[in-house]
Amino acid sequence: MSQPLLAHSPNDKGTEHYLADHLHAVAELAEGFASRFGAGELARLAGIAHDIGKANPDFQRYLLDSWRAEKEGGRKPRSVPHSIYGAVILAQSMNKILSIVAAGHHGGLADISDLKARLSVSSEAVWLQEAPPRLGIEAICQASSTKCPEDALSCEFLIRMLFSALVDADWLDTERHFDSDKAAKRGSDVTPGDLWTPFEADQKRLLEQIAESPVNNARREIYEACLSAANGPQGVYRLTVPTGGGKTRSGMGFALRHAMKHGLDRIIFAIPYTSIIDQTADVYKGIFGSENVLEHHSAIEPLIDPDEGQTETELRRQLASENWDAPIVVTTTVQLFESLFSNKPSRCRKLHNIARSVLVLDEVQTLPVHLLRPILNVLRELVDHYGVTLVLSTATQPAFSGESPYLTGFEPEPTEIVPDPGKYFQALKRVEYEIEDEQWDWERVAEEMLKHPQALCVVNSRKDAVDLFRLLDDPSALHLSTLMCPAHRRDTLDEIRRRLRDGEPCRVVSTQVVEAGVDLDFPVVLRAIGPLDRIVQAAGRCNREGMLEQGRVIVFRPADGREPRGSYATATGNTAIILSGGDCDLYSPEVFDRYFRLLWQDCELDAQGIMGLRKRHNYQTVAERFRMISEDTVPVVVPYGDPGPEAILRTVRFKGSANREEWRKLQNLSVSVFRYSASKYEEEGLIKPVLDGLYEWTGIYNHRTGISAECPDPADLVISGSCTG
């Protein structure tokens, strides 16, 4: 009797993992995942086929030789490819879309031309004819052929979702074999419906504590409107709430009730700024418990030693971050969309868990203009075919619906969660805008700031912020920018809030880092002219709680200011046109419809040609070109705080890795710089490497303004694109 075929080497307990068992277990898991979007049978076939190549006698010898080498310390043999053979069988059985899925389950989804070349080379395999019937090859061959959806982009995205279901199933079954204890800690039985009771209790407690005021009354009405709208059908919704209107909690109220109504699996909040994701996640963790809220973004992923220093709760969070198997996920738009357009198994693994969810895009107007067309197409796919309810949340709604020759948005028109949102913009009218026609030099800006004991000035670049801060020559003035590490910015924000609360002098110069989600309340805000939505966001830091009859927002034109290039510069130019009209009401949501339509007209909305690449199934090239941030950045640890990072850095250097707690601490003490700048700084002796992709700043760190202002601003490229304006 021949030896049963193996899928993997024996585990630490000596238990073998048979190939037939693995194929059918993966098929069952994948079928369950994909059945949530009507593709269970396809995923089952992909699961049966994915590791058929391991039946190759050469692979079986490789597997046993590798295991012996590991046990006896010998030389590891050369690997034997296996993933392509399942793809060959699927292609020969006319299931070509599944062949793409199976071929990429280890190395990633390939460009279709590369896959065709691999399939032709691997089509001859005599050993396949002798494979045991239990593997299921005959079932694959007898399965009816699968046709792609007629729409090429829908077909491309279906392959991504099937790929996600297969990869997650494969990894889960493999983990179950090698680490059953770890596998047992995966997943959560908690549903969004289970979280309604603690949320309702916390919301009731909060409402009982806050005093009657026009602002708080408006927040109550907005919250009630969200609960009422949650009973509506699935689809696309707009949560149009003025800054300070309480959309963080109200949005969660809608999402929970809507998920309960439609039996959805999870709620995903995508936030554009890493500077406020911790703040939002902490709010939700305080309500629901940290075990029910997954915080997942690139700032807390790399360089982690998974086996060191983890509690069971931390391990559960890490496991959930791999596939978003949690009732509430708080992530960044970068993590979300770069995963949706990735070709890598590790990043795509979570995609199938986006199906049957409420997806809330916070500050949706910040989506990168140069990628807007492919982003909106994928969002429509999720809503139309994968059971997703999408919530577009912002005070400044972009024009993502209606007829436009420049952008295909959402049809039918998204449903407004809050009826007549313009009413609340008027009710929460807390500032008067003063638009200065003449250019101001920085001396004039500093002079205006010095007239007010408490004033915030927001400028367009880190260099401008440092220049104005120095010119202000105020020993008590404060500075905020991403030249400062997160811990430094957080301490500065705490000091700003204390001074504002105690009525002390508080003059602050900041970049855009202060504009979204940061709860500050100044009587006077100055804003260098920029994109219209950014001006309104800055105004949200003025008279936020409505304690004054009216706050002042002064919009000025810097005589020698700098600004990010691309769509930011184009948007600034369009803002100047709109503001010069004289009839621009920044409390009217309609003005932003006009503003964004001008922007779509003047900018390239698919600057990297992603749509054409997707139609041709060029997955690898799409992944290479889809970048929310155009240039790679690396973290540079700075000498801030007491104790500073020195002890942690010594430990990490000695081990050659960082555990999750160490990495979190280092992230709080890091500044992001472009990778090309890091090379220059290393040559100049300003930084030195700690680990691959992690550096230490050895230059001067100013405890008021951070690292040298000569460092380019990574935020400058977040919304860059090719524009005609």
One-letter identity of residue 371: L
3-state secondary structure 487-505: HHHHHHHHHHHHHHHHCCC
Q: Is the pLDDT of residue 294 over 90?
A: no
Beta-ladder partners of 635: 672
One-letter identity of residue 119: L
Note the Cα 328 to chain centre separation in Å.
14
pLDDT of residue 318: 52
Of 632 and 64, more confident: 64
The alpha carbon dihedral of 618, 623, 625, 628 has a sign of positive
* pLDDT tens, position by position, 166-223: 999 998 998 888 888 777 777 778 999 999 999 999 998 888 887 777 778 888 999 9
CA distance 388 to 493: 36
Q: Considering the chain, what percentage of its residues have pLDDT values greater than 70? A: 89
Q: How far is CA 644 from CA 324, 574, 640, 653, in A?
A: 33, 45, 5, 16
User: Which strand (E) or helix (H) includes residue 115?
Assistant: helix 112-121
Structure tokens of 90? 């699927």
**Greatest mean pLDDT range, 9-18, 263-272, 513-522, 656-665:** 263-272
Beta-ladder partners of 484: none
Give the residue-averaged pLDDT of 151-178.
93
For 329, other C-beta atoms within 10 Å of its C-beta total: 26
Q: Is the pLDDT of residue 713 over 60?
A: no
The closest of 476, 481, 446, 488 to 461, measured between CA atoms, is 481
Give the residue-averaged pLDDT of 663-690.
88
CA distance 286 to 415: 30
**Read out DSSP for 125-153?**
-GGGGGS-GGG-HHHHHHSPP----SSHH
3-state secondary structure 19-68: HHHHHHHHHHHHHHHHHHHCCHHHHHHHHHHCCHHHHCHHHHHHHHHHHH
CA atoms within 13 A on the CB side of 495: 16
CA-only gyration radius of the chain, Å = 27
Q: What are phi and psi of 169, to 5 degrees?
A: -60, -45
Check: CB of residue 575 under 8 Å from CB of residue 595. yes
* pLDDT tens, position by position, 20-38: 999 999 999 999 999 999 9
Helix, strand, coil percent content, the chain, rounded in steps of 5: 50, 15, 35
pLDDT of residue 311: 41
pLDDT of residue 13: 86
Note the Cα 207 to chain centre separation in Å.
31
**Read out DSSP for 81-95?**
--HHHHHHHHHHTT-
* pLDDT tens, position by position, 230-272: 999 999 999 998 877 788 899 999 999 999 999 999 999 999 8
Of 66 and 493, more confident: 493
Give the residue-averaged pLDDT of 683-693.
89
Residue with tokens 């919530």: 391
The closest of 475, 474, 513 to 493, measured between CA atoms, is 513
Check: CB of residue 561 under 8 Å from CB of residue 716. no
Spell out the residues 6+ positions from residue 548 whose beta carbon is closer than 8 angstroms to its own: 430, 523
Structure tokens of 577? 């046109």
CA atoms within 13 A on the CB side of 675: 7
Q: What are phi and psi of 321, to 5 degrees?
A: -65, -25
Residue with tokens 């493999």: 174
CA atoms within 13 A on the CB side of 399: 19
User: Which strand (E) or helix (H) includes residue 329?
Assistant: strand 328-332
Apex 57 CA angle, 53 and 60, nearest 5: 80
Output the average pLDDT for the chain.
Answer: 86
> Is beta strand 17-18 parallel, antiparallel or unpaired with respect to 6-8?
antiparallel
Give counts: helices (H), strands (E), the chain.
29, 19
Q: Is the pLDDT of residue 721 over 60?
A: no
CA distance 19 to 5: 6
Q: What is the dihedral of CA 408, 411, 414, 420, to 10 degrees?
A: 90
**Greatest mean pLDDT range, 500-504, 546-550, 659-663:** 500-504
Spell out the residues 6+ positions from residue 390 whose beta carbon is closer than 8 angstroms to its own: 235, 236, 237, 359, 361, 379, 382, 383
> Is beta strand 506-510 parallel, antiparallel or unpaired with respect to 694-697?
unpaired
Altogether, the residues listed in the chain come to a count of 725
pLDDT of residue 717: 36
CA distance 49 to 185: 28
Structure tokens of 64? 């046993």
pLDDT of residue 37: 96
CA distance 80 to 78: 7
Q: Is the pTM of this model over 0.75?
A: yes
pLDDT of residue 724: 32
Q: Is the pLDDT of residue 608 over 90?
A: yes
CA distance 568 to 276: 21
Q: 3-state class of 668 per DSSP?
A: helix
Work out the pLDDT band at 715, boundaries 50, 70, 90.
Answer: very low
Lowest mean pLDDT among 204-208, 514-518, 529-533, 655-659: 514-518
pLDDT of residue 711: 54
Work out the pLDDT band at 302, boundaries 50, 70, 90.
Answer: very low
- Give the ranges where 331-461 is alpha helix by DSSP (H): 333-340, 345-348, 372-385, 421-427, 442-450
